[in-house]
Amino acid sequence: MQRTALVTGITGQDGSYLAEVLLEQGYRVVGMSRRSSTITNERIAHLAGKIELVQGDLLDQASLVEALKETRPAEVYNLAAQSFVPTSWNQPVLTGEFTALGVTRILEAIRQVDPTIRFYQASSSEMFGKVTESPQHEGTAFHPRSPYGVAKVYGHLLTVNYRESYDLYAASGICFNHESPRRGLEFVTRKVTDGAVRVKLGLAKDLRLGNLDAQRDWGFAGDYVRAMWLMLQQDQPGDYVIATGQAHSVRELCEVAFGRLGLDYRDHVTVDPALIRPAEVDHLLGDATRARTELGWEPKVGFEQLVTMMVDADLARLGGGRRADDPVLASSMYSRAP
Ligand code: NAP
Ligand code: F7E
């Protein structure tokens, strides 16, 4: 019988890639999205007719119960959250409502409607924050540095607690940063690839960034969603770090992205103190040994390949379908940057 998967946050970066993996696996895929006055389906437009959508909001318990009753999933992937760290300082209460209490609401809905549903929680490396050891693994202590990180610790521990209290199949992916051409423009990778392309095409003069020394373990979102699915196919539920095991600085990210376009980032990137965070996470590096050995999961896309893919996609979007290795780019028509 065809299995149904319900994905919250289907309109986000991960939701769109996960839907593709689930369709490949033969699932009926239902995405939960909240009502808004403007359409936010850009990332899943290519899946129209292949997936179904149901309305629901993590702030509204009744809508979650209704979505489960209506769609009867075997698996629920909880990807919805307020996921941008800086916003969590401006809207700490709302971040807690979505990102922390939203997990309680959906787990309670599962208990009420069908406790056999398998549940995936999108936990985050931001829970490690001010790290106590490196690399970080499933047993590393949490020391979150933002209201977002704190909210994710709550969601993570609640998932563990519901597994232990009610014997639910509840698993958690402690995912390190993962990126793609579908990443939101405010996150640093996409801000840099989009910004570098704008400079190259003469659409912007410079790019303002915050802390260039911060280091992250950046992977490709398409690889990470495979791990999410694998986590719900095991005999027993568990928690898994998903990471590449390689860290790079924001400065290196700029070097690769601008370099792809034949530019030197030092000529175009300026540091804006307003973009420095109240409390920074300086360095994250993940140890995904457990995922490798138990799930058989490996990342396929490395850092340079990822950044190159993102630059090329932004160039195709903003530059009329060109690639960075297109010789026309070197011509004066596309070289209006100072
Ligand atoms: P994203 O692109 O920001 O997508 C977030 C999704 O959540 C969007 O579909 C958004 O819908 C939805 N959402 C927000 N508030 C909601 C609410 N109240 N009710 C229902 N839906 C709501 O995030 P992502 O990068 O795909 O990440 C997916 C999940 O993984 C998030 O939980 C994030 O915190 C977590 N995570 C991400 C990373 C990463 O590097 N990407 C790493 C670790 C963990 P709208 O379109 O309506 O805004
Ligand atoms: O920042 C530095 C910034 O916003 C990365 C979310 O998906 O991954 C993401 O959270 C680093 C930070 O991601 C700018 O200070 C410098 O050190 O791309 P980011 P994040 O905060 O690591 C985790 C795992 C999640 O769970 C989150 O949901 O880059 N940085 N200059 C900057 N960051 C931004 N956004 N913008 C800058 O101008």
- What digits encode the pLDDT tens for the residues 66-75? 999 999 999 9
The CATH class of the 188-216+248-281+303-330 domain is alpha beta
Domain ranges of the chain: 4-179+217-242, 188-216+248-281+303-330
Closest C-alpha residue for ligand 2 atom 8 = 177
Decide: helix, strand or coil at residue 208. strand
Q: How far is the CA of 311 from the centre of ligand 2 (A)?
A: 18
The pair of three-digit structure tokens given for residue 46, joined into one six-digit string: 């290519």
pTM: 0.96
pLDDT of residue 81: 98
CA angle, 286 then 5 then 117, to 5°: 85
Q: How confident is the model at residue 40, as a pLDDT?
A: 85
Ligand nearest to the CA of 82: 1
| pLDDT tens column, 230-288 | 999 999 999 999 999 999 999 999 999 999 999 999 999 999 999 999 999 999 999 99
User: Does residue 329 surpass a pLDDT of 70?
Assistant: no
- For residue 188, how far is its CA from the centre of ligand 2 (angstroms)? 5
Beta strands in the chain (DSSP E): 4-8, 28-33, 52-55, 75-78, 118-124, 170-175, 178-179, 207-209, 215-216, 219-220, 239-242, 248-249, 269-271
- CA separation for the pair 225, 107 (Å, rounded): 21
Question: pLDDT tens digits, residue range 171-212?
Answer: 999 999 999 999 999 999 999 999 999 999 999 999 999 999
Proximal ligand: closest to the CA of 34: 1
pLDDT tens column, 44-61: 999 999 999 999 999 999
88 is catalytic: no
In this predicted structure, what is the pLDDT of residue 334?
45
**Could you tell which of 85, 244, 283 is best to mutate to test the pocket of ligand 2, judged by most ligand atoms within 8 Å of the CB?**
85
Ligand number nearest CA of 44 is: 1
Cβ of 258 below 6 Å from ligand 1: no
Q: How far is the CA of 156 from the centre of ligand 2 (A)?
A: 20
pLDDT (average), residues 84-92: 98
Distance 250 CA to ligand 2 centre (A): 9
43 lines ligand 1 (CB under 6 A): no
Q: What is the pLDDT of residues 276-317, one digit of tens each?
A: 999 999 999 999 999 999 999 999 999 999 999 999 999 999
Same fold, 4-179+217-242 and 188-216+248-281+303-330: no
Confidence of residue 333 (pLDDT cuts 50, 70, 90): very low
146 in catalytic set: no
Nearest of 142, 138, 157, 34 to residue 100 by alpha carbon: 157
Task: Single out the catalytic residue among 148, 162, 169, 265.
Answer: 148
Which is the CATH superfamily of the domain at 4-179+217-242? NAD(P)-binding Rossmann-like Domain (3.40.50.720)
Q: Residue 327: its pLDDT value, please? A: 62
Question: What is the atom index within ligand 1 of the atom nearest the CA of 148?
Answer: 34
pLDDT tens sequence across 94-111: 999 999 999 999 999 999
Per-residue pLDDT at 335: 42
